[in-house]
Chain A
Amino acid sequence: MIREIKAEKIKDTVKRLLLQANYEIGTDVLRELGLSLKREESATGKSVLQQIIDNHRIARQDRIAMCQDTGMVVLFVSLGQEAIITGGDFTEAVNQGVKEAYTEGYLRKSVVEDPLFGRKNTGDNTPAVIHLELVPGDRIKIQVMAKGFGSENMSRGKMLLPSAGVQGVTDFVIETVQKAGPNPCPPLVIGVGIGGTLDMAARLAKISLLREIGCPNGDIHYAALEKELKERVNELGIGPAGLGGRITALAVNVEYYPTHIAGLPVVVNINCHAARHAAAEI
């Protein structure tokens, strides 16, 4: 049986999710910020964490953006292979949803139409970056993310040699966070993609940022790696806002995929405490 999904409905969903993501921080982030406030030893670090918690509360109450960099929109769409989209073009519907959210929701427009020549602002924060995946079923799952560039700019990838192993991956993650210092607005959510190809590792790193904080990877080896990486990152002492302290990472999430016998791709995608994402199924 084929199920019909109207393009209009997709547009409305994207718009609603983006407003929600920009105004309301996830309860998982808030919970982790609260725990961090208890654990932080630095007085400056504590006051920064308190400001962040207050900030997210104000944004939710007043329905204003929690951060002025309302990001570039990234979508992960899982389309059921028994669903059919009618009444319009899918990509246009998504971008119309972005446009309406950013213009009607008083969100900043931060996208330029050409990365190299002219860099003219598109004026409505379109286009979104869309990742589409076909899955069984007749529904469509849409996950949106508003990705700020203070943290995106501090992200890095590397094609390691297979012999580099766990040590190589760990060193690369630590080095990336150390280099980033205060720039990506710590405390951070750190996404790590390992395996696949260059592009797949980057995609996995981004997907891992959508995972609920406090939920480890389902595989025990990767769950242990996540724990180890979080401890190591917090030993750097960068602290809230980079001013020194115990809490640099709220979470380190790792995702992996099979890879080639000759390779070990790894990408570290950094997200700030304004870790904005939301999801819905139609």
Chain B
Amino acid sequence: MDKTKRIQTPLTVQQAVGLKVGDNVLISGVIYTARDAAHRRLAELLKEGKPLPIELEDQVLYYVGPAPAPPGHACGAAGPTTSTRMDIYTPPLIEKGLRGMIGKGLRSQAVIEAMKKHGAVYFAATGGAAALISKSIKKVEVVAYEDLGTEAIHRMYVEDFPCIVVIDSYGNNLYESGPQRYRTCKTL
């Protein structure tokens, strides 16, 4: 197995371009959560030229809507949601300096192009490994859109959050190359 890389947020361009597709990564530091509803609001603000509630430069967004935290836990189950739904809102965020995204599932060509142009990375966390992932989340606080409940923007303090580089800043895509290597039938 490839050796695991430890990275600390904020994620600089230099760090981002050093990450290669297939790298196992453990992320520590601050990351922000946002799902569909929060993305819609961020996109509207950008369109109107208004300031965003969080600074995006060199930040990492995690596509997640955690389950409520049981007593004694910093965070409830918190695995990734399908990233594809965020695609239409994402390129302008990358232009604003967003450096990393954690989710699961395919991305659009427009997102990949923006990642290549600005040097951003897409990480996959294991879908459905939500209880395991929640152990690496040490503290959670709401920073914007509290009315959205689980869909609000949260600041998460994470330690050794496990994920894999699935699309690197050069556009290499493990969702394509991985299955290709193991496919033994002809494509439909």
Contact = CB atoms under 8 A, between A and B. Distances in A.
Contacts of B187: 178
A44 B164 contact: yes
A205 interface: no
Interface of A: 41-44, 47-48, 51-52, 54-56, 58-59, 62-70, 106-110, 121, 148, 150, 153, 171, 174-175, 178, 181-183, 185, 232, 235-239, 241-246, 272-274
B52 interface: no
A246 B182 contact: yes
Contacts, number: 174
B106 A55 contact: no
A242 B67 contact: no
Contact of B128 (A43, A44, A273): A273
Contact of A52 (B105, B126, B174, B180): B126
A243 B164 contact: yes
The 8 closest A-B pairs by CB, nearest first: A244-B178, A237-B182, A185-B127, A237-B183, A55-B132, A65-B77, A235-B185, A59-B131
B177 interface: yes
Interface of A is mostly: loop
Contacts of A55: 126, 128-133
A66 B106 contact: no
Interface string B3-37: 00000000000000000001010000000000000
B29 to A, nearest CB: 21
Q: Per DSSP, are chain B's interface residues mostly helix, strand or loop, or mixed?
A: loop
A98 to B, nearest CB: 15
Contacts of A175: 188
A106 B106 CA distance: 29
Nearest to A182: B105
Interface stretch (B53-61, B68-76, B89-97): B68-76
A149 to B, nearest CB: 9
Interface in B161-187: 162, 164, 166, 174-175, 177-185, 187
Contacts of B70: 62-64, 106
Interface string B70-86: 10010011110110100
Given A64-B76, A242-B178, A243-B174, A121 B149 contact: yes
Interface of B: 1-2, 22, 24, 64-70, 73, 76-79, 81-82, 84, 104-106, 124, 126-135, 149-150, 162, 164, 166, 174-175, 177-185, 187-188
Given A51-B162, A183-B104, A236 B128 contact: no
Given A41-B182, A44-B164, A242-B178, A182 B22 contact: no
Contacts of B177: 244
A183 B1 CA distance: 24
Contacts of A59: 77, 131
B128 A108 contact: no
A68 B179 contact: no
Nearest to A171: B188
A106 B131 contact: no
19 contacts: A42-B182, A47-B24, A48-B126, A55-B130, A59-B131, A63-B70, A64-B73, A64-B77, A66-B128, A68-B65, A108-B65, A108-B66, A182-B105, A182-B106, A182-B175, A183-B82, A183-B84, A243-B164, A244-B174
B128 A52 contact: yes
Contact of A54 (B67, B132, B178, B181): B132
A106 B67 contact: yes
Contacts of B76: 64-65, 68, 106, 108
B41 to A, nearest CB: 14
Given A68-B65, A181-B106, A243 B175 contact: yes
B76 to A, nearest CB: 6
B178 A66 contact: no
B178 A245 contact: yes
A248 to B, nearest CB: 9
